[in-house]
Amino acid sequence: MAPALLLVPAALASFILAFGTGVEFVRFTSLRPLLGGISESGGPDARQGWLAALQDQSILVPLAWDLGLLLLFVGQHSLMATETVKSWMSRYFGVLQRSLYVACTALALQLVMRYWEPVPRGPVLWEARAEPWATWVPLLCFVLHVISWLLIFSILLVFDYAELMGLKQVYYHVLGLGEPLALKSPRALRLFSHLRHPVCVELLTVLWVVPTLGTDRLLLALFLTLYLGLAHGLDQQDLRYLRAQLQRKLHLLSRPQDGEAE
């Protein structure tokens, strides 16, 4: 086990990497498709039909590359979340297990975003080109994306962002408080066992609600929709717990400070 003084910088580095990757993911999934407009898709003259696209190497090759990137990300994200790998990582890295998982996930996602190949000559499932849709559809998509990201940040507050990022585990370890999960209620542990991805609906909105749904965006949306769907298993009891926790957090945030109360 590394000395406590080395644990904190390692956890902070992982957190900074994850935070920067999250910001880049917002740009990748929301800002680029919403602000890029029609210029990213190559114009209507370059479009091909779906059947012709299956025979065009200039379309199939980048799609195969993008699919490989997605498989790399999902493979890393799922494999390192298995109990066998988590036990091995805990044995060799101790309290940094969660931070290492977060850092590897961020690096895998960085690979997807940095080396993603657009398919400008591919067919388009839908596109808002004619007025007034060319004006109002991007605006509506922008509003829905903003709402979705605000909901995502709110849900992360409910799920304890510091613990998700691995900071809380190191903080508790340095202070000798033990494992944070050991202090969770049975209802919280039940929720965590049912749901690995607490922002499923909001992410699906970000993925699908775009003015132009081209070939590579369709691949991204379909693949992540399938992956998120397989990891989603909430029931009514979990939803009631989530609602109660969100209301409690909002109450704490809106409560006046002692100085203000006086």
The 10s digit of each residue's pLDDT in 84-96 is 998 999 898 988 9
**Chain segment 111-159, per-residue pLDDT in tens:** 999 999 998 888 888 888 888 888 899 999 999 999 999 988 887 777 7
pLDDT at 261 over 70: no
Task: Give residue 167's pLDDT.
Answer: 80
Q: What is the mean pLDDT of residues 12-20?
A: 93
What pLDDT does residue 39 have?
Answer: 41
Using an 8 Å Cβ cutoff, are 196 and 81 in contact? yes
Task: Answer with the residue of higher pLDDT: 247 or 34.
Answer: 34
**Mean pLDDT, the chain, whole residue set:** 79
Q: What is the pLDDT of residue 106?
A: 96
State residue 100's pLDDT score. Answer: 94
Question: Cα(195)–Cα(83) distance, rounded to whole angstroms?
Answer: 15
Provide the residue count of the chain: 262
State percent of the chain over pLDDT 70: 71
Q: Pick the residue with more confidence: 154 or 247?
A: 154
3-state DSSP call for residue 111? helix
* SS3 state at 38: helix
Return d(Cα 123, Cα 147) in angstroms, integer. 29
Please give the residue that has the higher pLDDT: either 167 or 261: 167
Distance CA 96, CA 169 (A): 8
Question: Which pLDDT does position 42 carry in this prediction?
Answer: 45
Helices (H) and strands (E) in the chain, counts: 14, 2
Are 204 and 151 within 8 A, CB to CB? no
- Residues 211-226, mean pLDDT to the nearest whole number: 93
The per-residue pLDDT for 262 is 41
> By the 8 A CB rule, do 158 and 246 touch?
yes
Count of Cβ atoms closer than 10 Å to residue 238 Cβ: 19
What b-and-e string marks burial along 203-227, b requiring 16 or more CB atoms within 10 Å of the CB? bbbbbbbbbbbbbbbbbbbebbeeb
Structure pTM?
0.77
- Report residue 233's pLDDT band, with 50, 70 and 90 as the boundaries: low
CB atoms within 10 A of CB 138: 18
Residue 187 has, within 13 A of its CA and on its CB side, a CA count of 11
Q: Where are the domains of the chain?
A: 4-252
Share of the chain above pLDDT 90, in %: 36
> How many C-beta neighbours within 10 Å does residue 161 have?
15
CA distance 129 to 211: 9
Quickly state the pLDDT bin for 73 (edges 50, 70, 90): very high
Mutual angle of helices 97-114 and 167-175, in 10-degree steps:
160
Question: Is the pLDDT confidence value at 109 over 90?
Answer: yes
Residue with tokens 């691995």: 166
